[in-house]
Structure 1
Amino acid sequence: MLLREKMQGTAFSNAEQQLVDFILQNPEKLPHLTVQQLAQANFVHPSTLIRVAKKLGFNGWVSLKEAYLQEVHYLNDHFQTIDANLPFTASDGITTIAQKMAALEISTIEDTLALVDHDHLNQAKQLLLSCDPIKIFGSNANRLISQDFALKMNRISKQVSHCIPGEEAYEASCLATTGCGLLISYTGENQALLKIAKILQERQIPIITITSIGNNHLSQLATCPLRLTTRERLYSKIGNFSINKSICYLLDLLYACVFAENYTHNLNSLIEIGAAVDKRQTSLAIIAENTVETKLQYQDSFTPN
């Protein structure tokens, strides 16, 4: 749930509601008003700000203001020229559709990048490096998207697998305590995944979540929450374009961070394995391989002077 939605759905006193209405209608004024000025503008006592903040789950007014302004900034940034739900219209030709779909993907990645928190990303990287095995839990659609992530991770000797459909609770209950759960849910309110998260939490197994912004229940159970671009409605849309692209970007980012931890070894290992098992032929020089020269090139690139 977004903070502004929580404000709209929380029961306040008349004085508190007057303050909340002002906050919702005038976010651009908040950075420039002191507690006293904001209270005077709404004819309330300064303590009203603290009561509102605590009803919304914050320790004080400053933390509420910071969280609300961050949310407003996110919602007002990116996606200014394209609708994630209806990125093209019935009258658009194929060239226009191609351009709009490209714009949607670019906006999605920029939007997702803006949500990446350095500390959470680093924590997720450390968990993926130190935990074994890594088990992915998600809906059927998200399971398909994350298969490429599992494949790439397995190729650098990180044991990543998907749970068997219908066996999620059993697999969470049997997952080694040295392992880690990676849970993917757009809403963060999927009841089956919440059950999995609680099982993992009770067994003290770390949880990485990929979910929407806002204080959803799944992110509350996470050891390390990562945020998806949050622009699409549940079903009034053409397709899960921005959701899927955002998940792909975050999973590629996690893989890249893990790969970079042992860059030279991982790269040379992939080249050696590829040379041994990939026997595809090509008539294009630009994609043809020269395995010996390639390996020497990368070795030379990382040899200290």
Structure 2
Amino acid sequence: MESLEDLVRIKNTTNNDEEIIKFIIEKPEQVINMSIYNLAQATHTSTSSIIRFCKKCNYKGFKDFKISLIQCIDKEINDINNVDVNMPFRKNDTDLVIAKKISQLSIETIKATFNLLSSSKLQTAVDQIINANSVFAVGVGDNYIRLCDFKTKLLLINFYIKMTQLEDDQIRLTNLSTKKDVAIILSYSGETKKVLECAQKFFLNRTPIIAITSNEHSHLASLADQIFLIPNKENSKVSFSNFSSHVSIEYILNTIYSCMFSRNYLANCKYTQN
């Protein structure tokens, strides 16, 4: 099956052909739901211009052309894999292709993160959290948002973690920790200044640290008792957004929450339903 560009590639194009090609390339999913009259109106051409264009593409008419267009779109979507974590979509990608790429990126990220997990590490971390007198959580920016979602889930099973958004207050909060508590700390690089200040305070207080980071050789990792690694593929200089790291961190936190839930499954089921 040919690509979308190959599908509309013809020789000796007219101005009308150029308008039709441009519209099809930019909005292929929209075209498959359009009548020939709608397409003519959208491209400021005529139905006869569209029929001539389709025949130049070696199709009997617009209906035959749309069948190949649908097949072309399906193939392009189904062939998507190994999505670039820094630039997961391109300028000319259609909405549906972008949706597929983000979906594929999420799947690939979760698989890669799962492969970095171990049963013993999960069990130890979950036991530490459940048995701690208090649980502290530290993260800045987007990571704080991930922790807020984690905190909300834990409240559903009557489990509370201590955290605050203000960075100065985070430092003060660490002073309350003891060796009978546990701290969950998020930092993609493992070198975030404010996060490291908190980690060092926890370390001095002999508070066990569970770190989620992409860098096992970072300062944060060196202070942690348990390290949950996430894929280290993002480049902040060229990345559109931290899609991959967000998915990875949420996956780990959701896994920890689910394991905690399962420790007292029936009681937690009843609690969440009340």
Q: RMSD value over aligned CA atoms?
A: 1.6
Which residue number in structure 1 is paired with residue 83 of structure 2? 82
Distance in 1 separating the partners of 2:185 and 2:265: 26
Which residue number in structure 2 is paired with residue 281 of structure 1? none
Which string of whole-angstrom CA distances, capped at 9 and with x for unpartnered residues, describes residues 235-290 of structure 1? Answer: 3111110010001000000001111111111111111x2xxxxxxxxxxxxxxxxx
Q: Structure 1 regions of 5+ residues with no counterpart?
A: 1-78, 274-305
From 190, 193, 216, the counterpart of 2:192: 190
Q: Is the 8 A contact 1:132 1:159 kept in 2?
A: no
Q: Is the 8 A contact 2:139 2:147 kept in 1?
A: no
Alignment of 1:209-220 (within 5 A): 209-220=211-222
Which residue number in structure 2 is paired with residue 228 of structure 1? 230
Which string of whole-angstrom CA distances, capped at 9 and with x for unpartnered residues, describes residues 28-66 of structure 1? Answer: xxxxxxxxxxxxxxxxxxxxxxxxxxxxxxxxxxxxxxx
Aligned sequence identity (%): 27
Which residue number in structure 2 is paired with residue 155 of structure 1? 156
How much has 1:117 moved relative to structure 2?
A: 2.2
Which residue number in structure 2 is paired with residue 240 of structure 1? 242
Which residue number in structure 2 is paired with residue 257 of structure 1? 259
From 197, 205, 208, the counterpart of 1:206: 208
Distance in 2 separating the partners of 1:113 and 1:182: 19
Distance in 2 separating the partners of 1:266 and 1:243: 29
- Partner-residue secondary structure (3-state), 2:207: coil
- Partner-residue secondary structure (3-state), 2:185: strand
Determine which structure has more spread, i.e. the larger CA radius of gyration.
Answer: 2
Distance in 1 separating the partners of 2:81 and 2:217: 24
Distance in 2 separating the partners of 1:175 and 1:164: 17
Alignment of 1:103-118 (within 5 A): 103-118=104-119
Q: Is the 8 A contact 2:82 2:105 kept in 1?
A: no
Alignment of 1:122-141 (within 5 A): 122-141=123-142
For normalisation by structure 2, the TM-score amounts to: 0.68
- Partner-residue secondary structure (3-state), 1:178: coil
- Partner-residue secondary structure (3-state), 2:120: helix
Q: Is the 8 A contact 2:109 2:231 kept in 1?
A: yes
Distance in 1 separating the partners of 2:226 and 2:83: 31
Distance in 2 separating the partners of 1:147 and 1:154: 11
Which string of whole-angstrom CA distances, capped at 9 and with x for unpartnered residues, describes residues 42-92 of structure 1? Answer: xxxxxxxxxxxxxxxxxxxxxxxxxxxxxxxxxxxxx97210000110010
- Partner-residue secondary structure (3-state), 2:137: strand
For normalisation by structure 1, the TM-score amounts to: 0.61
Is the deviation greater in 141-150 or in 156-165?
Answer: 156-165
Matched positions, count: 194
Which residue number in structure 1 is paired with residue 98 of structure 2? 97
Which string of whole-angstrom CA distances, capped at 9 and with x for unpartnered residues, describes residues 145-195 of structure 1? Answer: 221110111221221132241212111012354321110000001122122
Q: Is the 8 A contact 2:144 2:165 kept in 1?
A: no
- Partner-residue secondary structure (3-state), 1:182: strand
Opposite residue 179 of structure 1, the aligned amino acid is D
Q: Is the 8 A contact 1:228 1:246 kept in 2?
A: yes
Q: Structure 2 regions of 5+ residues with no counterpart?
A: 1-79
